[in-house]
Amino acid sequence: MGASDPEVAPWARGGAAGMAGAGAGAGARGGAAAGVEARARDPPPAHRAQPRQHRPAAQPSARRMDGASGGLGSGDSAPTTEALFVALGAGVTALSHPLLYVKLLIQVGHEPMPPTLGTNVLGRKVLYLPSFFTYAKYIVQVDGKIGLFRGLSPRLMSNALSTVTRGSMKKVFPPDEIEQVSNKDDMKTSLRKVVKETSYEMMMQCVSRMLAHPLHVISMRCMVQFVGREAKYSGVLSSIGKIFKEEGLLGFFVGLIPHLLGDVVFLWGCNLLAHFINAYLVDDSFSQALAIRSYTKFVMGIAVSMLTYPFLLVGDLMAVNNCGLQAGLPPYSPVFKSWIHCWKYLSVQGQLFRGSSLLFRRVSSGSCFALE
């Protein structure tokens, strides 16, 4: 979801991680079911034609394997798997950072280059603001290529902390076996299943978001220093000291509420929509039902993330508002009393989706961009 961690979230956004986890769980369940079915079909060998007297107890699933089980999540392989996820996440975060950096500068209203005249699909003349690629070239001209990675360090730490937190929570609160929803289930049963799964995902996402948010605030402030060419926030430790001294403990959690609301709305909206489509619109007798269901949640995630974008925008603006940086002060932004005040202001200006598009950016009539 844009400038958040993705997590998103999360696929912030953290929503993408939740969908990946759900997909992995479904795959593991499907593989286990296939193995049982195959063993049931295989005929017993000749020297064991007599019926079996004892059936071994069912083994614990991959979700519940402990240190003595020797599974993927056990013993020495658990820290290795977690470290692998952290490393992969760090790589994706680093590669996508220039995109998030440009998006954040657009969100705060920094438009250092004038719009250009163009035509839309109907042939009408409209003003277009610079696209992501033009904006990125401008940043390189000012700060060099390394300038595209301003604020990356706290963002890497934030994502790593979020990943480790989710992994630790799974160990402390292991998820129960989640049955696969089918259109054969009645309304009450199917809803119970999806509510149970979504509640668990929401708990993990909210906790990881709250713990990682202070680093997210530092990352946002490091990036928007490009607007006023400030150097107030230069390192993680020094930034922590400045925020605590000037704003107190609450300064680390500015903008947290809209981010949490966005995460909750995203998870429930995505999971419920995907559930109703998979359970009631996709018939099990259809040959491609499994393939369609595997993509439903992904498509719904894209759609719902567009609807929850205003929560992301408001949260990011509140993280840099009135913090002593030019990007959080007039003329770029008023000093907001609360995130609701910020939401109402953007709504009146028609800017609740500012920064959601990075390619074809038209100048709106209610634009509050500060053109230099």
Q: Report whether pLDDT(117) > 50.
A: yes
Per-residue pLDDT tens digits for 310-358 = 999 999 999 999 999 999 999 889 999 999 999 999 999 999 999 998 8
* The predicted structure's pLDDT at residue 102: 96
Determine the structural domain holding residue 207 and report its residue range: 80-188+195-349
In a domain, 89, yes or no: yes
Backbone dihedral angles phi then psi of residue 370, each to the nearest 5 degrees = -95, 95
Which band of pLDDT confidence, cut at 50, 70 and 90, is reported for residue 72? very low
* The predicted structure's pLDDT at residue 144: 95
- CA–CA separation, 89 and 324 (whole Å): 31
In a domain, 59, yes or no: no
Positive or negative torsion for Cα 180, 183, 187, 188: negative
Which CATH number characterizes residue 139's domain? Answer: 1.50.40.10
In a domain, 162, yes or no: yes
Q: How far is CA 34 from the centre of its chain?
A: 32
- Structural domain total, the chain: 1
Q: Report whether pLDDT(229) > 60.
A: yes
* Mean pLDDT of all residues in 49-72: 39
Do 284 and 182 form a contact (C-beta atoms < 8 A)?
yes
- CA–CA separation, 82 and 160 (whole Å): 10
Distances (CA, A) of 40 to 4, 29, 57, 116, 274: 48, 17, 16, 68, 32
In a domain, 64, yes or no: no
Q: Output the pTM of the full model.
A: 0.74
* Mean pLDDT of all residues in 142-165: 95
- CA–CA separation, 86 and 80 (whole Å): 10
Concatenated DSSP letters of 141-159: HHH-GGGGGTTHHHHHHHH
Per-residue pLDDT tens digits for 256-310 = 999 999 999 999 999 999 888 887 787 777 777 777 878 888 899 999 999 999 9
In a domain, 355, yes or no: no
Do 205 and 261 form a contact (C-beta atoms < 8 A)?
no
Non-local (6+) Cβ contacts of 98 within 8 A are: 136, 139, 148, 149
Q: Report whether pLDDT(53) > 50.
A: no
Per-residue pLDDT tens digits for 192-222 = 888 988 999 999 999 999 999 999 999 999 9
* The predicted structure's pLDDT at residue 175: 75
In a domain, 65, yes or no: no
3-state secondary structure of 232: coil
Which band of pLDDT confidence, cut at 50, 70 and 90, is reported for residue 74? very low
In a domain, 40, yes or no: no
* Gyration radius of the chain over CA positions: 24
Non-local (6+) Cβ contacts of 136 within 8 A are: 98, 102, 148
Residue 149's CB is within 10 A of a number of other CB atoms, namely 15
Positive or negative torsion for Cα 107, 110, 112, 115: positive
In a domain, 366, yes or no: no
Task: Name which of 65-74, 181-190, 219-228 the model is least confident about.
Answer: 65-74
* The predicted structure's pLDDT at residue 96: 95
Closest to 156 (Cα-Cα) out of 222, 57, 63, 238 = 222
* Mean pLDDT of all residues in 68-86: 60
